[in-house]
Amino acid sequence: MKKFMDENFMLHNETAVRLFHDYSKKLPIIDYHCHINPEEIAKDLRFENITRVWLGGDHYKWRLMRCAGVNEKYITGDASDREKFQKYAETICQCIGSPVFHWTHLELQRYFGYHGVLSGDTAQEVWELCNEKLKEAAMSVRGLIKQSNVELICTTDDPIDSLEWHKAIAEDKTFDVKVLPAWRPDKAMNIESPEFCDYIAKLSEKSNIEIKSFEDLKAAAINRMNFFATMGCNVSDHALEYVDYLPASNETIEQIFSKRVKGETLTETEIRNYKTAFMLFSAVQYHKMGWLMQLHYGCKRNNNPLMFERLGPDTGFDCISNFAPASLMADFLGALTKDDTLPKTIIYSLNPNDNAVIDTIAGCFQDGSCVNKIQHGSAWWFNDHNTGMCEQLISLGNDGFLAGFIGMLTDSRSFLSYPRHEYFRRILCNLIGEWVEKGEYPADMKRLSKIVEDVSYYNVKEYLTNN
C-alpha cells in the first residue's frame, strides 16, 4: 500500500517520477485564466483565519457541503468562521474520489506543512495550525503568490472596469509578478439579460460614446479594448452556452438592437442573431489587436431559481449542458477564415463528451502560423480531476497535438489554488510515463523532458507573448 499523498502522489511509474521531480515540478506558473480579485493583490490582503482564505467564494467546496447535508447557515450563512470550518472538515474527509479532497490536502501540505488528514476530529488542530501560520509575513496574498512560483496572472475583467488595481500593481516595484486584465464582455453580449440596457448605459458613460446602435456599441467596445491594451491586456474570455453561428445582415442586427433598447422582447432567433454578430465582431477585433480568444461553453448556469434569488451567480448551482452543436462552432470559426481574421483561440467545453469534437474541429483551423493556434483548453471546472484531465490529454494526443498544449490554469477565486498546477503536472507526467513504460513511446528522456516542460510552462509563455 502506498503512503497517503507522499512525494510520489499520483506518480505510478519510474518515468513519471523522474519527469515530474526533475523537469516539471520546479517550473514557474502562468495562470492565464482565474477569477481572483486584483484589489486584494494590490492591497496585499492578509487573512484573519483559514475559513476566510479557503471557503469564501469557493463554490466547489460549497457544493460538496450541500451534498453532505450541511445546512446553508454553515456554508454561505451567518455561522461563525470556526463553525463553517468544522462543517467543511467533517465533509471533506468523506469526499473519496473528489479532486477537492486532493486539492485540500495539497494546500495543507504546501502552505501549512500539515501532512495529516483533515476531518471533524482534526479540525481544531488544523484550525489552530493554519491560523498561526497565516500570521507570518509570507502568508499575505502576495506572499502566497510568490511562494507558489507564479510568474503571470490574468484576471477576469468587465469592459467597464477601471483597472485601477492593475495599475497600482504594475507601478509597485516591490512586486514583480505580472497581473494583467483579461477582457470578459459577457454583459455586452447577453442581450436577453434584464440588466442589458442598464449595462449599455454604463458602457456608454465609461467610453464617452453615446450608444444608440450596434455600431455605437462596437465603437464603445473598441474604445475600452484600447484602454485594456494600455494595461497589458491581450487575452479575452467569453462564457457561452455554446458557440453559436446564425448570421444576419447589418440591418437586421441594428433592428434587433433597437428593439431591445426600447424594452421589447426578442425572439430566440433574434438573440442568436445578435450574439453571432457580437462574437464575429469581437473575434475580428481580437485578430487586429493580436489578442487571443477564449471560449468557455457547455454550461447551464443558475439552475436553482430559489438559491439564485438568495445568493446570485457563481454560488454552486451550475451544471454541464449537453447542447453544444459542433457544426455551429465549426461554422463560426470558418466564417473568420474567409478574411483571415481568426485569432488565436482556446476552446473549452464543460461537457467531456466534446473532447474529440474540439480536437477535430481545432485541426481544421491550424494554419502553421504558430504551434496549435487553436487550442483545446484544459479540462475545465467539473472536469479538472484525474479522470477528466486524462481524458482531455488522451483525446488531444489521439486527435490533436499534445506536445503543443498550453497546460493548466486555476479558474479559481482562491489564492491557495496554485497546487492545482502541481496536480495537473503530476497527472501529465504519470500519463506520459505510462505510455513509455508500456513501450508505446521511446524512453528518450531528452525528448520526453522537453514535452513535459513545454506543456507545463513554455508553451503557454510562447502562446501569450507572441501574438
**Which pLDDT value is given to residue 454?**
98
Phi, psi of 126 (to 5 degrees): -70, -40
- Give the strands of the sheet with 29-31, arranged side by side: 29-31, 150-154, 178-180
| Portion of the chain with pLDDT greater than 90, in percent | 98
Asked whether the predicted pLDDT for residue 467 surpasses 90, the reply is: no
pLDDT tens-digit series, residues 109-148: 999 999 999 999 999 999 999 999 999 999 999 999 999 9
**Which pLDDT value is given to residue 466?**
74
pLDDT tens-digit series, residues 245-301: 999 999 999 999 999 999 999 999 999 999 999 999 999 999 999 999 999 999 999
pLDDT tens-digit series, residues 205-230: 999 999 999 999 999 999 999 999 99
Q: Side chain identity at 1, as an amino acid letter?
A: M
Q: Residue 57: which pLDDT band, with cuts at 50, 70 and 90? A: confident
pLDDT tens-digit series, residues 366-398: 999 999 999 999 999 999 999 999 999 999 999
pLDDT tens-digit series, residues 148-182: 999 999 999 999 999 999 999 999 999 999 999 99
Asked whether the predicted pLDDT for residue 310 surpasses 90, the reply is: yes
Look over the chain and give the mean of its residue pLDDT values, rounded to a whole number.
97
Q: Which residues have C-beta within 8 Å of that of residue 360, sequence separation ≥ 6?
A: 399
Residue 253 — left, alpha, or beta (φ > 0 → left; ψ -120 to 50 → alpha)? alpha
Average pLDDT estimate for 96-116 = 98
**What's the predicted TM-score (pTM) here?**
0.97
Asked whether the predicted pLDDT for residue 52 surpasses 90, the reply is: yes
pLDDT tens-digit series, residues 324-361: 899 999 999 999 999 999 999 999 999 999 999 999 99
